[in-house]
Structure 1
Amino acid sequence: MSTAECCSNPPRLSSSSGDGIIENIGGLNTYVTNSNSNPNSNRAIILISDVFGYEAPNLRKLADKVAASGFLVLLPDFLYGDYLKLDPDFDRQAWLKKHTTDQGCEDAKTLITALRSRGVTSIGAAGFCWGGVVVVKLAKSADYIQAGVVLHPGPLTDNDINEVKIPISILGAEIDHTCPPEQARHFEKILAAKSEIESFVKIYPGVSHGWSVRYDVEDDSAVKSAEESHSDMLNWFIKHIK
């Protein structure tokens, strides 16, 4: 996995950010938030973070925003508190070997089983870079999630995309060496040939990898671009998670 872009602009961590609570679900510490108007929703959205983890303030704000539309939203700590660091002495390759997307997928399946046992009947998942790869792995079966969104994808192959079996949306950045626009458009063609599922691919102009969650809240343009991606993600789930 390339870390050049995943490892830029790390979010400020704060365990107290957001309106939700931390709960252990399926063995994972999970930020859980829902709407006061629909606290017992049987529709859930799982947000899967990038390599900087689930404590990112912007990510928790996004979870709260999605919950306000009537979903139960879960933001699990798939990295078990061990987040990638920018320290030059930090061994990134060892970290990536420890925190594989395959393991993230297995942990997500355990979480989904726990949600089903609580009466959740329809589940969507959105992932950011590392988390987006986990979403695509889940999307290779219709047994786990009913719709997926991948924002500024991590490394994916044609085979990964070709094996997707559920409605999926890919939201990419114009400036992205991990998943350049031409690669995202290539994935779009693969998905378009799969008439049995609905797909949507969009490239956001003038933004870089990570723009949807690692943006400067003081930068109006950055906030506007991030919020556009949030709206597109939410609309996808409103359409497909019933």
Structure 2
Amino acid sequence: MSGPQCCENPPEIISGSSQQGHMTHIEVIGGLTSYTAGSLASKLAIILIADIHGYEAPKLRQIADKVASAGFYVVVPDFFYGDPYVPDTSLSAWFPNHQPVKGCEDARRVVADLKTKGASAVGAAGFCWGGMTVSKLATHGEIEAAVILHPGPLSEDDIHEIKVPTAILGAETDEYSPPEQIKKIGEILSAKPVDSFVKIYPGVVHGWTVRYKDDDEHVVRCAMEAHADMLDWFKKYLK
């Protein structure tokens, strides 16, 4: 997996105990250090799986807080074990050591831990690398719903094996998952006995939902729309 779009507009990572003046909530879930938001007392949990820039990205945590405010317990695990992609390094060298297959194995442990802790339903949403990971996680049928946002290259074999309601939110310009591929994947999903939803957002590029520029009104509007679509999907299937 290589190319400029994953590396453009990297987030400004603020490591440590606080971001934007708020104390972070860090727990270990399924063996992974995780940012958490909301209360598990809701019994409805959502895992957000980061893109290559990792779980400390401020906008990703803002999304987690937004989803939690709708009544979900949200977990953002560190699937890269403290080794996210760092700008100006080789993505082709980093990626082989951070495969979505391993991410899926870790995510399954997170799901199991959440259900042990009392979650009655778990959803998962993934961005780019995380979208690839969620596509694999959804083949196991251990979550109740999945959302895949501007994913890296998806395996059609994985899509054929998906067992849970799945939404795919794509960008009009995306070298990893161009609209024609997303539409083909949508056709595969529509032939399956599980519900699916595919949407292409105009005038945006790969990564827009989690690495948008605040001064770009169109992209911000599309990002907010995608977040709302993601939340609606989870509200529909996590009961």
Secondary structure of 1:6's counterpart equals helix
Which of 31, 35, 59 is residue 35 of structure 2 equivalent to? 31
Alpha-carbon distance in 1 for matches of 2:106, 2:156: 24
Structure 1: state its 5+ residue gaps: none
1:84–1:95 Cα contact (<8 Å) kept = yes
Q: 1:84 to 1:3 in 2, by over 3 A?
A: farther
Task: Please state how far the C-alpha of 1:130 moved relative to its aligned partner.
Answer: 0.4
Deviation per CA, 1:88-108: give whole Å up to 9, x if none.
xx2322311111111111111
Structure 1 counterpart of 2:82: 81
Cα distance between partner residues in 2 of 1:188 and 1:112: 25
Matched, 1:131 2:133: no
Structure 2 segments unaligned to the other structure (5+ residues): none
Q: 1:237 aligns with which of 228, 234, 238?
A: 234
Look up the SS of the partner of 1:232 in the other structure. helix
Partner of residue 180 from structure 2, selected from 167, 177, 182: 182
**Aligned length, in residue pairs:** 235
Q: Is the 8 A contact 1:6 1:210 kept in 2?
A: yes
Residue of structure 1 equivalent to 2:198: 201
Partner Cα distance (2:126, 2:3) in 1: 16
CA contact 1:2–1:155 (8 Å) conserved in 2: no
Deviations 1:200-224 (A, max 9, x none): 0000000000000000122222211
- Normalising by structure 2, report the TM-score: 0.95
Q: Identify the residue that residue 172 of structure 1 maps to in structure 2.
A: 170
Q: CA deviation at 1:198?
A: 0.1
SS at match of 1:51: coil
| Deviations 1:173-210, CA, capped at 9 Å, x for gaps | 0011110001111111111111x100000000000000
Q: d(CA) in 1 for partners of 2:178 and 2:229?
A: 20
Q: For 1:85-124, what aligned pairs fall within 5 Å after superposition?
A: 85-87=86-88, 90-124=89-123
- Provide the rounded CA distance (Å) in 2 between the counterparts of 1:81 and 1:127: 18
Moved more, 229-238 or 218-227: 218-227
SS at match of 2:5: coil
RMSD between superposed Cα atoms in Å: 1.3
Aligned twin of 1:5: 5
Contact 1:17–1:60 (CA<8 Å) still a contact in 2? Answer: no
Q: What percentage of aligned pairs have identical amino acids?
A: 53
Q: CA deviation at 1:158?
A: 1.7
Q: CA deviation at 1:112?
A: 1.3
Report the residue type matching 1:17 in the other structure. Q
Matches of 2:29 and 2:220, distance apart in 1? 31
